Structure 1
């Protein structure tokens, strides 16, 4: 079992995350901390495999706690779940050694995908350790990306497509109904119509979205997007 500690000051969100974790095979929540003192105490006592960490707390910085975990708990991984969207914050978290990063609000499907990938990573790591494998490039690729094949189109994002932005747009896609335009998505996400169009076309190519032409009543035809039907 992968032992999880949730560090989140909002008790309601911590409870939701706990329920999400408990739906997944191979994971157990061993503790929940809502402030700095509880976080340090549970890390010391429980020595978890994985921490689900928010970044905003009244009495501490989540980034400072991330650094503390990296220094003192080398076998504990951290997955950040936060509303923080500032580029500098995301970059600092990545530099601080975070395993993965989810932007709130997080839907269960996205949460499940992330934790299943982490479970696969742990299983692969254990297999390498137990077999005393000499690491080669394929082994490293397997640990980092879940594949030894460079051609895996779902692992290596094309030029101009950023992982954090694509996940932010996926949250909107999963919650949106009907059809929408690149301009509408851009206004919702706070980026340009051109950027929105690039990501929407990327998701069309992946089969996540379908695109149609809307002629409307006036003006020129407009490209609209909707969730693809399976």
Structure 2
């Protein structure tokens, strides 16, 4: 279970964000902090794996706090959540080693996609003594190993969710079935499934019945 600390100066916003996190399997909220000082103490005592960090705090700039948090726990991962949109702010956050930058306002689905990317890309490297493969590094930096660009409007985070769904399925899935489990539209699910077919990661199995055959998508193991 990935332990998450929510850091936001607004009590209600922190509560909403904590609720979003609790909707994602594999994540648990261990606490919330509303100042830089309380965030430092929470990291010391609660030992979170991941902090959701707002930049605008009453006693410290969140980017300055980022470095202080790392001094308390060098292994802490940080996902910045902020209304700050200045390019310099984003660049500074990236240089600070954050795992993602999500701008307010956002939906539960937006945060879920970032958390899923974090779980799939970063967590396998935590505590592992095995050497990383190029595919592991590509996942972290959001690069498709096929070198074929994703269709316009598609994201690596959602693609990973589709891959996970296909891998866990005992058989093939249609676009309609995949969309129902992913919570997306059929058109969106089909774009990801067709992309995976184009790069050779799934096979098409035609389902025959009344009317036109339906396309089923089955994951091809490496």
Q: TM-score higher than 0.5 here? A: yes
Q: Please give the alpha-carbon distance, in whole angstroms, between the structure 2 residues aligned to 1:83 and 1:105.
A: 7
DSSP 3-state at the match of 2:141: helix
Distance 1:69 1:149, change over 3 A: farther
1:98 is matched with which residue? 98
Is residue 124 of structure 2 the alignment partner of residue 137 of structure 1? Answer: no
What is the number of residues matched between the two proteins?
A: 158
Q: Deviations over 1:105-155 (max 9, x none)?
A: 0111111111111111244325x81xx333343332133327533224269
DSSP 3-state at the match of 1:133: coil
Superposition RMSD in Å? 2.8
Structure 1 residue ranges without an equivalent (≥5): 158-206, 208-230
Q: TM-score, normalised by structure 2?
A: 0.64
Written as runs of structure 1 = structure 2, the 5 A alignment for 1:1-230 is 1-126=1-126, 129=128, 132-145=129-142, 147-153=144-150
Structure 2 residue ranges without an equivalent (≥5): 155-190, 192-222
Post-superposition offset of 1:87: 0.9
Q: Deviations over 1:46-89 (max 9, x none)?
A: 12100000000121110011111233322110001111011111
Which has the larger displacement, 28-37 or 143-152? 143-152
Q: TM-score, normalised by structure 1?
A: 0.62
DSSP 3-state at the match of 2:85: coil
